[in-house]
Structure 1
Amino acid sequence: MIKKYEIGTFILRVVLGLTFFIHGLDKFQGGIENTVGWFESIGLPGFLAYGVGLVELLGGIALILGLFSRVVSGLIALIMVGAIVKVKLDVGFLGNGQMAGYELDLAFLAMAVFIAINGTNAYSLDNVILKGKDENGNTTTLN
């Protein structure tokens, strides 16, 4: 039997995954070179754009499917910390009228950290692949 918090975690996982998949897809469809240039313009190495784009694109798919959810969520949390500190912190929580603030980034960060800490069992490929095994390899019942 799936507990209520697992349904809530499933919803967070799918929404976070879908959001980041679309962001990653946009980076590559719009020309990753634009993102590389923007990274360089804010003082970051351009090659990081490829890493961020791949984490968003492939990590988003993985989250939707429930595959490597803790690892992917940890990577997304790092991306959100970087976005907040490097880009959004100076414009404030709500923004400055020309640029959005970090309120949405903070919400995504909280979602990612929650999933990274708690994992997710409901409707996840990890659950199917691991077949309810605990850290010792013993079969468990996932409730």
Structure 2
Amino acid sequence: MSTNTADLGAFVLRVTLGVLAFSHGFILKVLTFTPAGTAGYFESIGYPAAFAYLVIFAEVAGGLALIVGFLPRLAAVGLIPVLIGATLQHAGNGWSFSAAGGGWEFPAAWTVLLLASALIGPGAFALGRKLPGKLASL
């Protein structure tokens, strides 16, 4: 099986997005802030604490799925609502993510990149390519 540059590009995009998601979910929200701290933050901005645990799960599971290429289109689409929420949360801070509280530039770009990854497909070295039938393309 030969791998073309488009497959390699899709692979690089998929893995990069997966590492970002995983690191935000596990390193930042689990190891740094702790799940309870993340839940407390969600409550402080008006969301139910349970949303924090859903976001942590989505970022960790979705990130891992993207990294290994297991149902990567579904993983990318599943992460889009999380990033839309992050974009909306940061919208009041201005455009630049370097602004106080972080602007909406980074999560908006991340949202678009997830959509692009879902549209492009898994690319090279995707574990899901071994799945039967149409599952292999998800």
Sort the TM-score into its range (normalised by shorter chain). Answer: 0.7 to 0.9
Bigger-Rg structure (1/2): 1
- 1:44 is paired with a residue whose SS is coil
Structure 1 residues 37-76: Cα deviation after superposition (integer angstroms, max 9, x where no partner): 1111111111011110011112111110000111110121
C-alpha deviations, 1:70-123, integer Å up to 9, x for none? 1110121111111111x1111121157422211111221111111222321311
Query: Is contact 1:121–1:127 with CA below 8 Å preserved after alignment?
Result: no
User: Does the aligned pair in 1 maintain the 2:6–2:123 contact within 8 Å?
Assistant: no
TM-score normalised over the length of structure 2: 0.87
Percent of aligned positions with the same letter in both sequences? 30
Structure 2: any 5+ residue segments left out of the alignment? none
User: Contact 2:18 / 2:67 at 8 angstroms: preserved in 1?
Assistant: yes
Say which of 59, 80, 85 aligns to 2:83.
80
Q: 1:44 aligns with which of 20, 41, 47?
A: 47
Structure holding more helix per residue: 2
Indicate which of 56, 59, 64 corresponds to 2:62.
Answer: 59
Computed over aligned residues only, the root mean square deviation of the Cα atoms, in angstroms, reads 1.9
Match of 2:19 in 1: 18
TM-score of the pair, normalised by structure 1: 0.84
C-alpha displacement of 1:36:
0.4
- How big is the shift at 1:12? 0.7
Amino acid at match of 1:18: V
Q: Superposition pairs for residues 1-143 of structure 1, below 5 Å? A: 1-26=2-27, 27-30=29-32, 31-85=34-88, 87-95=89-97, 97-130=99-132, 133=133, 135=134
SS at 2:125 equivalent: coil
The amino acid of 1:111's aligned partner reads L
Cα separation, 1, equivalents of 2:66 and 2:97:
29
For these two proteins, the number of residue pairs brought into alignment is 133
Q: Which amino acid aligns with 1:68?
A: L
**Could you tell me how far apart the structure 1 residues matched to 2:129 and 2:25 are?**
26
